[in-house]
Each structure stands twice: as C-alpha cells, then as structure tokens.
Amino acid sequence: MTGPLITDWSAVSPYGIGRAAFEEGFRSGRTTSVPLENEDWLVGERADTEACLVPGFVIKEVLGKKGTRAMDRVTGLVVTTVGRLLDTTGGPLPSEDPDEDTALVLGTTHGSHKSMVDITRDTLTDEKPYYINTAHIPNAIGNASAGMCAIWYGLKGPNATIAAGRNSGIATLNYGRRLLATGRARTVLCGAAEEYTTDRSWLEWHTRGADETGTVLGEGCAMVQLRAPAADGRGDDDALAEVLGVSSGITGPDGVAAGLETVVGNALRRAGIGREEVWAVSASAPAGEAGRQELKALDALFGDLDPLTLGRPGQIGDTGAATSAFQVVATLTAAQDSARAAGRVAVLTSVDRDGALGCALLRMR
Amino acid sequence: MANVTAEQAATIKEIVCEILELEEDEVTGESLFREDHGADSLRAIEILASLEKEFKVTIDQAELSRMVNLNGVYEVLAESAGW
Amino acid sequence: MTTNPAGGVHDAARRVVLTGFGVFSSIGVGAAEFAEGLRSGRSGAKPITVFDTEGFEHTNGCEIRGFEPERWIRNLDAAQLGRASQFSVAAARMAVQDAGLDPADLREQRGLISIGTTDGESWDLDRLVASQLAKGSAEMDRSIAGRIRAGRLSASIAQELGLTDVEAVTIPTACAAGNYAIGYGFDAVRSGEADYALCGGADAMCRKTFAGFYRLGTIAPERCQPFDIDRKGLLTGEGAGVLLLETLESALARGARIYAEVLGYGLNCDADHQVAPLESSVARCMELALENAGVKPEEVDLISAHGTGTKANDVTESRAIRSVYGTTPPRTVSVKSMLGHTMGAASALAAIACSLAITHGFIPPTINHASTDPECEIDCVPNEAVEADLRIVQNNGLAFGGNNAVVLLGRYEA
C-alpha cells in the first residue's frame, strides 16, 4: 500500500523567505549566524550575542499592514510559509471561498513564549493587573498561529497544533498521515515553527546543559503539502516523496541511543523496508550528549552501508520544535541533487531533551 | 458634544485609529466602528481597555453598546471619568 | 461480529472502548467521586489562592486544593514537574489503575499518549516571569525554566509509567484539546497502529489566562451560569482527565469493565475569528462527528455542551445545536457550571462525565440556573440531575482559534 505523498513544500528560514531561498542556502552550506547588536527590533538584554535569524523578517513588510498589527513573530513565520506553500497572499478577513478539505497541522514548542510572558509581565508591572494588551490576548494561546493561518487562507479542515519538542515536525507528519488515512482531510499542510525572541534566548540559556554550551539559536518555519496517493497511482507525478511510515518512542532507562535504535528498527520493520534500501540519514543533531547518542544509533544501524549523512538541516542554528520539519525539507532538497536518491529511502531521526524520539521514513521519487 | 477637551479628544481618536488600523481622516464622530470600519467585538474591548489604561478610569463593559463611534466614546469616557 | 448502537457493524478489533479514567477536578478526584459530584450538582467555585488576585474585582475560580502528586507519581520526582504535568501524570497513573492494568502490561504493547492543554505550564511560567522581574533575566528561576515545555505533559506520563514503545504528543489546541486528544487516540487504536491510548487533557489555573479572560469581560463574578438569562461569564478551573482507550477485543479478552464506547469524532476550523465562535462551523463539526460515528441526530440522547457561560458562546452553540438537531434537540448540559472552565482538560473531563452518565444512567445538571435565556432554546437540565437511560452522548469542545472538536460516545452493548 502506498503511503501519503509529499507534493510540495516551502520554508521561511535564516536562508531567506521561500523554498528557493532555502534550497540555495542549503546547497551553499553557508552559515547564517549574525551578531544581534544590529537587530534593533529585539528588545532588552539578551543571553546570546548571535543567532540565525530570518533576514529582514519584518511582519508588516512581508505580509502587509492589514491584520498584522498584533501578530507575533512565530505566527508571522507560519502565515508567510503557508502563503508561499499555497502560492497565495491571503488576508485577515474570512475567506469567501473557504476550503473544508485542507487540514493544517503545526508543530510548536508551545506557541509564542514571548506572547505568553508578555501578558503575565503586564499583569505584574502595570497599575492594574488587567491592564494587559487586549490585542495580544489571543496570541498567548498555543494554537494561535494555526488558527490565524486558517483565517488568512480560509482553511476550514481539521486544524491541529502538536507539541513534542524537537520531534514535533515528525509528529505532524504522523498526525497528517492519520488525517488522510481516516478521510478527515484530502490535503494536509504539516510542518513546524519556532521564533527567535529575547525571551526564548533567556529560557534556552537557563535550561542548557553543560554539554550544550555554544548552541546558536535559529528560527523559521518549514511546511510540506501531504495528500493521499491516487487509487490507481496515476496523476502522482508531482510527488517528491512518499511517507512510508513514522515511528515514535520515549527514551527509557537504556538511554537515547538504544531507544532510537529500537524506534528506527520498528519503523523499518513496520514499513517492510530493508536496510539496503536506505539512501540517506538525517539526524536532528542537538548539541551535546543527546546528539552524540543519536549519531551512535545511526552508525550502529547503517554505518556499514555508508549512506549519505545529512547532519543538522543546514547552518540555520537550533530551530527547536521546527528542527525535524527542516530535516524533511533539507532531505527533499538533497534528493534533487543526488542521482542515487530516486526510489530509495531517507531515514529521518529526532531526539529531544524531554524524551521524545522519532523516525520518519521517506521514499524519494 | 461630551465634556472632553480638544487634547483629550485627540488622544482618544489616536487610540481608536491605531486599534482600527485607520488613518485619522477616515474616522468622523459619527462613523460607526462596526458597520463603517469593520471592527469586531475584540476591537471594541481593546478600545475600552486602552482608554481605561490611558485615562486611569474604569469603564463598565455594559457601556460597549454605546461606544459605537467616536462621539459615543467621548460621552462614555467623560461620564466614567467624571469630567 | 456485533452491532453497535448506531446500527453500524464493526469487528471487535476495530471498536474502541473506554476502560479506565483518571480524574482530578474541583468537584472530585477519581471516577467514583467525580460521578457523585456530577450527580449531586456539586460546585467547585471558591476564592482563588493559586495565584495572587489582588487588584482584580472578581476572584473566584474552580481550583483543586490539597492535591498530593506524590501519592500518584512514584518514579519521577514530582518536584521536577510543573503543576499541569503533575496533574496529567497523576491522572494517567490513576487511569491505568482504574482500568485494572499494571503499567508492566502496557510496556509490551504499542501505545499512544495524547494530552491536550491550553496553557501548558503557564502557572509556572507566571512565577518564572515574577522571578525575572525581581532578580533580572540572568537570575530568573532556573528550576522553573527547565520544566515548562508543553511536550512534557505527555512525555512525562511515558517516563513515569516506563513506557517506551509509545508516541507521546501534547496537543495545545486550547479549550477543545481534550477532544482532539481522544480523537487522535481513537484513530490510532481503531487502525490497529496502537494497542492502547492514554488520552485526555490537563491544565493548571494561571494568572495569565485569568487576566486575559478578565480583560475580555468574560470572568463571572461568583458563579458560572451557562444558558441562564443572567449569565455573567466563566470561572477558570483546573485539573486533568485521562482516559484509557483500547479495542473491544482487548477489553473483552481481559474481562475489563467498559464504561463506554468511542463511536467517532469530528474536527474542523472556523477560519473566521480568533476568539468568537462561528455558528455554521460549530454545526458542521457536529455533523462531521455524527457522520464519522454513523449516528443519526435523532439517536443522540444527550449533548454535553462546551457551555462556557459567556454571552457569545452559549447563544452561538445553542443555535448551532438547533440547526443540526431541529426544534427539539436532546437535553444539553454544561458541566462547566460545576467544574468551571478547565481549559485543555475541559472536554476530556466532560467526556469522562458523559461516560459516567451512560454507565450510571443519569444526566448531570447545569447548576446555578434560574431562568433559561430565550436565545438559548435548549433544555439544560437545571440544577438537579435526572435519571436517564442514555445510549449515545455527544461531547462538544470549542476553542479560541476556531478549533472545534466533537466526540460521540455510546453505551457498550454486546
């Protein structure tokens, strides 16, 4: 049985806005880290001196002034990416021609951390605790970005938000796959997003382990378009890849490497894929011990096969919840450049500090 | 005309225009926020909240039904503030 | 082969039943006490103590007092978990126990954990912000910073129970999140991709969300009065509801008690407004759920409404119900009158309430009710529970962002 097909994608990344910018940047291998001292939109003292930012991402310039006055950064990233993916401009007013068959599944750490703490901060610093910025209240809910995208593009299908740490992007592929399998949607836009803000920089700084110092934060959003294959297999020429399967797990007492080996083994077995079919592996590659464990597992599983190894998805920094969504689009980009990719399988893995383990298997077209 | 000074009126108008994403010449004392300017209930509450904070007053939410245009806002605010 | 109440035929391997509940609520802990609270129309409303309410004029909420996470959380250090994760983990442990299972039974199986939430660890986040304001960004409370990621609400359950072959996701789709979580578990178990699912929702009351609802004018001064002409808004609440889902085949094989069957669900999005619900879209979501469950509107015996007690919700939802069900809709109650609005836990706790109503043959009342709003033309079963033979119950969940999720539950009939 053929799995759902990835037929298109887009991204807003430190390489720039849109798919072409990501492809160009990824191929160049150039770094995107910039000193923060010139970023005057960032308020307050920061924990970092540099970060990988989406260049020139000023929401009202990218999306226009209408309906963006109170839009937070992560929502801006998502709305921009989905607009590129749908190849439309959309807008803040409800659509007169809504689409009931397209679902949106968005991976996130938990919405905009900044939008949430801004509200609490207002309650603690102003004269009255309820002197909060009313327009920002809806932003402080974890599903705000997905809900706003639905408004901008008239997407009335299932609208879900998923938080599974670094595994969130892979988790959205599974959620999207199930929506298609159960007939709840005909097309699913799935992916994940993360914003850079002063508040995130401090939160990350305080939670980094001793082995994770030197992490440079990144931001962005990557989304793919997923649909079920045609019953007779015809008309699927636009497919870039087939989602063969997604497996997940939680790190147990045996540690990350052993846990991930099991998860990947389960994924291969459940999809009926042999190791020899593997063309490339893509690791989430977090800093520190977790990242080393991830590579250890991949080496134990596939080292002798010498697959193409896609490390961190480009030089775009630590994109948190968006990491595995960027792995997907980086793999799709790499496949275009590899004569050996067609018909073979990419293994994408992710490991997260809170225990989530994930593996997605994509067969490249 | 409600008992507001020209300066107060200017501040109020500025707040309303900012929230409704309008230029100041698009709004008159009589033009309706909802019908003429596409405001929804969230924007209406935002206007009320911003005025409360700016002028350090408390405005009963029941007054939203009168705050349909700038003149209505001037009146309600003047009463709530005891101007 | 058996026939389900809706008349459709399903193989026992593809029917999904509820066999264990974990409940933390302001009106009762555990399924038995919760059922008793629902039947007696208990109110969870009381002055808020979990955060500072000085400066707010109304300060009631439905908080949980005397919560002892250590009684339920054995393998993890409860102090390393935020309050919402403590609720979700404790409720999951309780659900497994209530199902008559040992966690070791689940370790050999493939599982799914899906936990809905609105605020995640925002109670902790409030305190993190306070520490930042007091001491500066470089000195904010590091122990809090480390435990606030929303993914932990679900991942911690797996770690506490020692489950590794499990997909754990947190679903932050706000106030419909519990139903989303149940729906995701339903699809995973029904397709055979998971042998069991632990699904539900958890939230801890926080200042951020209280202030937000307060500023929007939707916090009731004292009590929550859904569908009443004099309703003044919602009360924020907290807690967790976790449901254990498994196939009918599995439940029968181990002789488990079956509370109810999950018949199907529907999801859609208003794509209209960030905070105001859209009648046509809410109605469409109910139709999607009915279609998915293979149930006709006239077969539904009870609707558990989203029923927040705000002006906008109750009118919009009542009209949507009538547009699907016609002029004599089934009785429609709001358990939020008792529990307050427990946010991401709300539709999970309501789904448990629906199942207990089916099991024990009663309809939980809508309390604090004096006079029904003529714009809400439904029978909300005011104040007193009534005995009723319930076969099919609909559970509504609506959320900011226009996220709608409706679950259909049925009495298990062999």
Q: Do B42 and C274 touch (CB under 8 A)?
A: yes
Tell me the CATH class for B6-81. Answer: mainly alpha
Model-level pTM? 0.97
pLDDT at res. C10: 58
Q: Which position has the token pair 């109020």?
A: B12
- Averaged pLDDT for residues C156-172: 98
**Structural domain contains residue C11:** no
DSSP string, B11-69: HHHHHHHHHHT--GGG--SS--HHHHH---HHHHHHHHHHHHHHHT----GGGGGTTTS
Chain C residues 246-265 with a CB less than 8 Å from chain A: none
Give the residue from chain A lying closest to B51, CA to CA.
A131
Asked which of C223, C253, C283 is the last residue of a domain, the reply is C253
Judge whether B46 is closer than 8 Å to chain A, CB to CB.
Answer: yes
Residues C91 and C164 in one domain: yes
Chain A residues 217-276 with a CB less than 8 Å from chain C: 247-253, 259, 262, 266
Amino acid at A315: Q
Pick the catalytic residue from C10, C62, C224, C306.
C306
pLDDT at res. C217: 94
pLDDT at res. C4: 45
Number of domains chain C is built from: 2
Please say whether the beta carbons of A114 and A72 come within 8 A.
yes
CATH number reported for the structural domain that contains residue C402 in this entry: 3.40.47.10
Per-residue exposure over C261-286, b if at least 16 CB sit within 10 Å of its own CB, e if not: bbbbbbbbbbbbbbbebbbebbbbbb
A23/A19 Cα distance (integer angstroms): 6
pLDDT band at C1 (very low <50, low <70, confident <90, very high): very low
Q: Do A207 and C146 touch (CB under 8 A)?
A: yes
C362/A9 Cα distance (integer angstroms): 51
C321/C227 Cα distance (integer angstroms): 13
**C contacts of A140 (beta carbons < 8 Å):** 208-209, 212
pLDDT at res. A232: 85
Residues C245 and C269 in one domain: no
**Structural domain contains residue C199:** yes
Catalytic residue list contains C341: yes
pLDDT digits (tens, 9 = 90+) for C226-270: 999 999 999 999 999 999 999 999 999 999 999 999 999 999 999
CA distances from C164 to A166, C168, C222, C365, C403 (A): 17, 10, 45, 41, 30
Q: How many CA atoms lie within 13 A of C148 on its CB side?
A: 25
**Structural domain contains residue C272:** yes
Q: Which of A67, A93, A134 sits opposite B49 (nearest CB)?
A: A134
pLDDT digits (tens, 9 = 90+) for C2-39: 344 444 445 888 999 999 999 999 999 999 999 999 99
Q: Classify residue A95 by its DSSP letter.
A: P
Judge whether A38 is closer than 8 Å to chain C, CB to CB.
Answer: no
Residues C326 and C237 in one domain: no
Asked which of C214, C230, C253 is the last residue of a domain, the reply is C253
Strand partners, A347: A281, A361
pLDDT digits (tens, 9 = 90+) for A11-56: 999 999 999 999 999 999 999 999 999 888 898 888 999 999 999 9
Decide if pLDDT at C367 tops 60.
Answer: yes
**Structural domain contains residue C8:** no
Residues C248 and C274 in one domain: no
Closest CA to A335 of A291, A365, A296, A304: A365
**Structural domain contains residue C396:** yes
Give the domain extent around C75: 17-253
Please say whether the beta carbons of A333 and A175 come within 8 A.
no
Chain C residues 220-279 with a CB less than 8 Å from chain B: 273-276
Residues C60 and C167 in one domain: yes
Q: How far is C123 from chain A (nearest CA, A)?
A: 10
Catalytic residue list contains C175: yes
Asked which of C230, C253, C276 is the last residue of a domain, the reply is C253
Neighbouring subunits of B (3+ Cβ pairs under 8 A): A, C
Q: Do C217 and B40 touch (CB under 8 A)?
A: no
pLDDT at res. B1: 59
C207/A121 Cα distance (integer angstroms): 10
**Structural domain contains residue C259:** no
With 0-12 / 13-18 / 19 or more C-beta atoms within 10 angstroms meaning exposed / middle / buried, residue C149 is: buried
pLDDT digits (tens, 9 = 90+) for B38-71: 899 899 999 999 999 999 999 999 999 999 999 9
pLDDT digits (tens, 9 = 90+) for C36-82: 999 999 999 999 999 999 999 999 999 999 999 999 999 999 999 99
CA triple A168-A162-A183, angle to 5 deg:
110
Residues C338 and C389 in one domain: yes
pLDDT at res. C6: 44
pLDDT at res. A335: 96
- Sorted by where each starts, the structural domains of chain A and their CATH numbers stand as 5-227 (3.40.47.10), 241-364 (3.40.47.10)
Q: Which of C150, C164, C207 sits opposite A259 (nearest CB)?
A: C164
pLDDT at res. A202: 97
Percent of chain C with pLDDT over 70: 98
Contacts of A358 (CB under 8 A, 6+ apart): A164, A167, A170, A171, A246, A247, A248, A249, A263, A324, A348, A349, A350
Residues C275 and C191 in one domain: no
Residues C66 and C94 in one domain: yes
Judge whether A125 is closer than 8 Å to chain C, CB to CB.
Answer: yes
C198/C178 Cα distance (integer angstroms): 11
Pick the catalytic residue from C199, C206, C341, C369.
C341
Domain boundaries, given as residue ranges, for chain B: 6-81
Q: How far is B19 from chain C (nearest CA, A)?
A: 15
Judge whether C205 is closer than 8 Å to chain A, CB to CB.
Answer: no
- Averaged pLDDT for residues C376-403: 98
Could you give phi then psi for residue B57, rounded to 5 degrees? -125, 165
| SS3 of residue A75 by DSSP | helix
Chain C residues 270-289 with a CB less than 8 Å from chain A: 270-275, 281, 284
Residues C157 and C305 in one domain: no
Q: Do A164 and C170 touch (CB under 8 A)?
A: yes
pLDDT at res. A113: 96
pLDDT at res. C11: 85
Residues C305 and C247 in one domain: no
Q: Classify residue A94 by its DSSP letter.
A: P
C137's tokens: 């960004």
pLDDT at res. A218: 97
Residues C187 and C57 in one domain: yes
Query: 10-residue block means of pLDDT along chain A (365 residues)?
Result: 93 98 95 92 89 96 94 98 95 91 97 96 96 95 97 98 97 98 98 97 95 93 96 88 98 97 97 96 94 96 91 85 97 95 97 97 97
